[in-house]
Amino acid sequence: MTERLKRQRQPRVIPPDEVPLDQGASDGTDEWKQVDGVPFHHWDRWLLRLALDEPEGLRSISSKFRARARTKKGIDEIAEAMLAQLDDLGVRLAQIGAEPNTVLDEPERTSKWLQRKASRRIWEASTIRRTKAMARTPRRVLEERALLGNWGAFPESPAPDYAALKSAVGEGYYDYRGTAIVVLSLETTGARCMSSSTSDLQRLAIHRAMLSAAIGAMAQVDDSLTELAEHFREHEHAYLALLRDHCEIPGLLRDLLELAVWEDYGLFCEVETFLRALPNGPARAAARELDEVIVELVRFELDYQLGKARALRSVLGDVASL
C-alpha cells in the first residue's frame, strides 16, 4: 500500500515540448532577443512560431488577418495592428537574411507549449499592448498625414497657428453645453491670428489650421447642436475661396483631397463644388492626385476612404485626358 501511494505521488514527467519556455508572463512588447543587432519582440516570437505551422508561413498569417479585417463590421484595430507588425517583422527578417525557422531555436521550433501560447496571444487577443510598428498602422499614418502632414507645401505653414488653436481647446471633453466654449475659443484664437496676417497666403494657412483644429476638437465634444460643424464650414468656405486663387501651388490640392478623404465626421460640404469649378489645368492635377490616393488606399485595403476618394474622382470625370 505504501509503495503504491508513493508511486501515485510522483510528479508527472513533463515532455520536453511541454516545458514552459518563459519565466512568467511576457508582454508582447518585451524584447525577446537580438539577432545581428536587430531587435525582436515577443509578438515576433509568437508570429514566427505560428508561421511554422502555416502553408505559406507569415504570408498565410497576413492573409488570415486581412480576411478578418475585411469581414468585420467597422474597424478591426487588432487585425490592422498585427498586419503592421507582420510587415515590420518581414523587413527585419530581410535585413538579417533570416527565415522564421532560423530565428527560432530548436526548443522553440518544437515546443507545443509555445505554439499554444502563440495561438492564444495572436488569434484570441481582444486587447493588446502595441509595439511602435503596431501603433503606426497604415490607417493611422495616412490619417495623420491628411490632418497635418502635407503642410510643407504651404508657402506659409499652418503649423504655428494650429498649435495655438490646439492649445486653446485643451485636452478635456465637453458635453453639448460646453461645445460653444470650444467654438468661442477657436474663433477668438483664430481672430487673433488673423489680426496679425498681412497676406492671402498667411490667411490661407490660418484657415487650413482651423480645419484641422476643428476636426481634432470633434473627438472632444458632443456636437449635437452642430455648433462646431457650422464653425468648420465657415472656415471651409473661406479656405476654398482662397485656395481657388492658389491651387496651382504644388501640394495644396493633394493636401485638400487627402483631408477630405480622411475627415470622418461629415463636415466637408463644398469640396465637390470646388472641384467642378476648377480650370482644366488644376482639374487635371487634382485628378492625378486622386488617382495616386486611390492606388494607396487600394494597396492598404482601406475601403471606406477608398469609396470617398473614388466619389471625388468621379466628380472630375475624364478631365485628366484633356
**Segment 46-103, tens digit of pLDDT:** 999 999 999 999 999 999 999 998 887 788 999 999 999 999 999 999 999 999 989 9
Strands 31-35 and 38-41: antiparallel
Q: Mean pLDDT of all residues in the chain? A: 92
Q: pLDDT band at residue 319, thresholds of 50, 70 and 90? A: low
Look at residue 149 in the predicted model and tell me its pLDDT: 95
Hunting for cell 490646439 — which residue is that? 166
Range in 12-21, 282-291, 294-303 the model is least confident about? 12-21
Residues in the chain: 322
Give a three-class secondary structure readout of the chain: CHHHHHHHHCCCCCCHHHCCCCCCCCCCCCEEEEECCEEEEHHHHHHHHHHCCCCCCHHHHHHHHHHHHHHCCCCCHHHHHHHHHHHHHHHHHHHHCCCHHHHCCHHHHHCHHHHHHHHHHHHCCCCCCCCHHHHCCHHHHHHHHHHHHCHHHCCCCCHHHHHHHHHHHCCCCECCCCHHHHHHHHHHHHHHHHHCCCCHHHHHHHHHHHHHHHHHHHCCECCCCCHHHHHHHHHHHHHHHHHCCCCCCCCHHHHHHHHHHHCCCCCCCCHHHHHHCCCHHHHHHHHHHHHHHHHHHHHCCCHHHHHHHHHHHHHHCCHHHC
CB 100 within 8 A of CB 86: no
Residue in 266, 284, 297 with CA at minimum distance from that of residue 145: 297
**Res. 269: pLDDT tops 50:** yes
Count CA atoms closer than 13 A to 249's CA, side-chain side: 17
The answer for residues whose C-beta is within 8 angstroms of residue 166's C-beta and 6 or more apart is 213, 216
Q: Find the mean pLDDT for residues 229-233.
A: 97
Q: Which amino acid is at 198?
A: T
Q: Can you read off the three cell numbers belonging to residue 159?
A: 503649423
**Res. 15: pLDDT tops 90:** no
Q: Find the mean pLDDT for residues 112-138.
A: 94
Look at residue 287 in the predicted model and tell me its pLDDT: 97
Phi/psi for 186 (5° steps) reads: -65, -45
Burial of residue 33 (number of CB atoms within 10 Å: 0-12, 13-18, 19+): middle
Look at residue 307 in the predicted model and tell me its pLDDT: 96
Q: Which residue has the higher pLDDT, 237 or 317?
A: 237
Q: Find the mean pLDDT for residues 273-286.
A: 96
**Res. 26: pLDDT tops 80:** no
Terminal alpha carbon distance of the chain:
98
Look at residue 322 in the predicted model and tell me its pLDDT: 47
Torsion angle of C-alpha atoms 283, 276, 243, 297, degrees rounded to 10: -70
> What confidence tens digit (pLDDT) does each residue in 300-316 have?
999 999 999 999 999 99
Q: Find the mean pLDDT for residues 98-127.
A: 93
Look at residue 74 in the predicted model and tell me its pLDDT: 81
Question: pTM to 2 decimals?
Answer: 0.85
- Centre a 10 Å sphere on the Cβ of residue 157 and count the other Cβ atoms it contains: 14
Q: Can you read off the three cell numbers belonging to residue 146?
A: 491628411
> What confidence tens digit (pLDDT) does each residue in 129-187 have?
999 999 999 999 999 999 999 999 999 999 999 999 999 999 999 999 999 999 999 99
Q: Which amino acid is at 270?
A: E
Residue in 219, 233, 230, 235 with CA at minimum distance from that of residue 170: 219
Q: Rounded to whole angstroms, what are the CA distances from 68 to 60, 63, 76, 83, 101?
A: 12, 9, 8, 11, 26
